[in-house]
Amino acid sequence: MRRGLAAAVVVAALTISATACSGGSSGSSDSSGPVTITWWDTSDATNEAGTFKTLVKDFEKANPNIKVKYVSVPFGDAQTKFQTAAGSKGAPDVLRADVGWTPGFVEAGFLAPLDGTAAAAESGKFKQNLIEQAKYQGKLYGVPQVTDTLGLMYNKELFTKAGITKAPATWDELKADMAKVKEKTGVDGFAFNPQAYYAMPFLYGENTDMVDAAKKQITLNSPAAVKGIDTLNSVLAAPGIRKLDTTSNAYANIMDAFNSGKVAAIIQGPWENANVFKGAAFKDKNNLGIAPLPAGSAGQGAPLGGHNLVAYAGSDAKHQEASQKFIAFMTSADSQKKVALANGTLPTRDDAYTAEVNANPGIAGYSQLLGGGKPRQPLAQYSSLYTPFETQLIKIVSKQEATKSGLDKAAAEAKKLLPEFSTQ
């Protein structure tokens, strides 16, 4: 979520392009020598990547005939960069891909199926809803590396000072509680990041989504969606809510405020666990509370996310075999345990949830929320729908656009992506 200097971005882009051309189908190696595969890691370069670099070294020690060229690619750029590289036959052999990218990459012919390969040899040990989310049209195209969902992160000390004894179960309860926090502590009760992903629980709370893939309907502007975003607006207008931040630094600003104890509660995922525990307000890790997000009128829900390791279909047989071994190693129980302990993220297989891993309150808290996670719909264009939704969401919550008209405009843009779908 952090942005570097423009020059650094250019250098990184050139490095990635050069690296991509040395891997995948364009890679070569002597038949008797080691094979070199390229891995694009999209984890946080500052707080998470070091753990994966160490695992790469461990893999190379265990597999002396395979070398791994590690490349850190900013998550926000990775989808487009991979599409460009794969289209020119120069993609990395392995990519750490968001779960929502799978359908589109498969339809474009970029990913190799992993059924029956070494990569999927232990697929029965993974949480099966995550394995299903890594499939498209019945075939497995990724192995889950980490998983996540959204929850309510809150500061227990501030809640206690405000006389709040349990996390709010509904948005109305949250509004009442946040007013108490402001009154009793002087601290803002709640801050919202106006990105589409963080607004999804307000749609799920009214039993709707951006689309209904089975019915081929765009539901972004349905009465239920309007009700959900109206609920969000009512939360943002309530006493004790932090002033809405729509700047490009909103994410970082909100996290800094929460980590330093200047805001009591946020909607967030486990990928921020490690950062939160570095904050002044959470030197005692047990001060972090994690609860299901408040419910709307039709129930509660949060997106089920995470990252899979996927293999590039354009790689030759030798590189594919090496990639499969690498994916198996990086998603093994031992590797996932190491990642969880170092990065505070959630494993995707039950045998990685050891007592040591569960001792982390961030992991223990979020792992209890996974059962209520809503998987992405199996639609190639699904991830692209966040863009028109977010464009209008920011206008709606900033009072530049009425909820219905804003969502109508978002649905019209979604229709361009899904011309065969009907609208409300």
Residue 1 counted as domain residue: no
Residue 386 counted as domain residue: yes
362-411 pLDDT, tens digit per residue, is: 999 999 999 889 999 889 999 999 999 999 999 999 999 999 999 999 99
Tally Cβ neighbours within 10 Å of residue 119. 28
As given in the structure block, the two tokens for residue 281 are 């307000």
Distance, CA of 320 to CA of 114 (rounded, Å): 10
- According to the model, what pLDDT value does residue 31 have? 57
Q: Looking at per-residue confidence, does 33 or 149 come out higher?
A: 149
Distance, CA of 264 to CA of 261 (rounded, Å): 7
pLDDT tier at 199, thresholds 50, 70, 90: very high
Q: What is the DSSP string of 345-389?
A: PBPSBGGG--HHHHTSHHHHHHHTTGGGEEPPPS-TTTGGGHHHH
Flag whether pLDDT at 88 surpasses 90. Answer: no
Distance, CA of 163 to CA of 348 (rounded, Å): 36
Characterize 386-408 residue by residue with b for buried, 16 or more Cβ atoms within 10 angstroms of its Cβ, and e for exposed. Answer: bebbbebbbbbbeeebebeebbb
Owner of token pair 């590396």: 145
Same-domain check for residues 127 and 15: yes
Q: Report in angstroms the alpha-carbon separations of 293 from 10, 170, 311, 331, 351.
A: 39, 8, 34, 29, 27
Q: Report in angstroms the alpha-carbon separations of 35 from 25, 32, 39, 319, 322.
A: 12, 9, 13, 7, 7
As given in the structure block, the two tokens for residue 37 are 């595969």
- Going by their DSSP bridges, the two strands 35-41 and 66-72 should be labelled as parallel
C-alpha neighbours within 13 Å on the C-beta side of residue 419? 1
Distance, CA of 195 to CA of 75 (rounded, Å): 15
List Cβ neighbours of 229 (8 Å cut-off, separation of 6 or more): 199, 202, 203, 393, 396, 403, 407
As given in the structure block, the two tokens for residue 1 are 């979520």
Query: CB-based burial of residue 14 (10 Å sphere; 0-12 exposed, 13-18 middle, 19+ buried)?
Result: exposed
104-146 pLDDT, tens digit per residue, is: 999 999 999 999 999 999 999 999 999 999 999 999 999 999 9
11-40 pLDDT, tens digit per residue, is: 333 333 333 333 444 444 445 679 999 999
**Residue 107, φ and ψ in degrees, nearest 5:** -65, -30
- Region 88-99: mean pLDDT is 93
Same-domain check for residues 228 and 166: yes
Same-domain check for residues 141 and 162: no
Characterize 155-189 residue by residue with b for buried, 16 or more Cβ atoms within 10 angstroms of its Cβ, and e for exposed. Answer: bbbbbebbebeebbeebeebbbbbbbbbebbebbb
pLDDT tier at 4, thresholds 50, 70, 90: very low
Computed over every residue of the chain, the mean pLDDT equals 92
Same-domain check for residues 125 and 222: no
Domain that holds residue 75: 6-148+306-374
- Region 224-236: mean pLDDT is 98
- According to the model, what pLDDT value does residue 87 have? 86
Domain count, the chain: 2
Q: What is the DSSP string of 218-243?
A: E-TTSHHHHHHHHHHHHHHTSTTBPP
- According to the model, what pLDDT value does residue 17 have? 37
Q: Looking at per-residue confidence, does 229 or 7 come out higher?
A: 229
pLDDT tier at 424, thresholds 50, 70, 90: confident
Domain of residue 107, CATH code: 3.40.190.10
337-367 pLDDT, tens digit per residue, is: 999 999 999 999 999 999 999 999 999 999 9
Same-domain check for residues 116 and 239: no
Distance, CA of 200 to CA of 208 (rounded, Å): 9
Same-domain check for residues 63 and 168: no
Flag whether pLDDT at 309 surpasses 50. Answer: yes
Residue 207 backbone zone (phi > 0: left; psi -120 to 50: alpha; other: beta)? left
Same-domain check for residues 202 and 294: yes
Residue 222 counted as domain residue: yes
- According to the model, what pLDDT value does residue 363 have? 96
- According to the model, what pLDDT value does residue 9 have? 31
Flag whether pLDDT at 5 surpasses 50. Answer: no
- According to the model, what pLDDT value does residue 14 have? 32
243-261 pLDDT, tens digit per residue, is: 999 999 999 999 999 999 9
Distance, CA of 69 to CA of 25 (rounded, Å): 15
- According to the model, what pLDDT value does residue 26 have? 40
252-286 pLDDT, tens digit per residue, is: 999 999 999 999 999 999 999 999 999 999 999 99
- According to the model, what pLDDT value does residue 33 have? 78
Residue 69 counted as domain residue: yes
Same-domain check for residues 318 and 213: no
Same-domain check for residues 169 and 34: no
Characterize 333-362 residue by residue with b for buried, 16 or more Cβ atoms within 10 angstroms of its Cβ, and e for exposed. Answer: bebbbbbbbbbbbbbbbeebbeeebeebbb
- According to the model, what pLDDT value does residue 47 have? 87
Residue 191 counted as domain residue: yes
Same-domain check for residues 245 and 312: no
Residue 177 counted as domain residue: yes
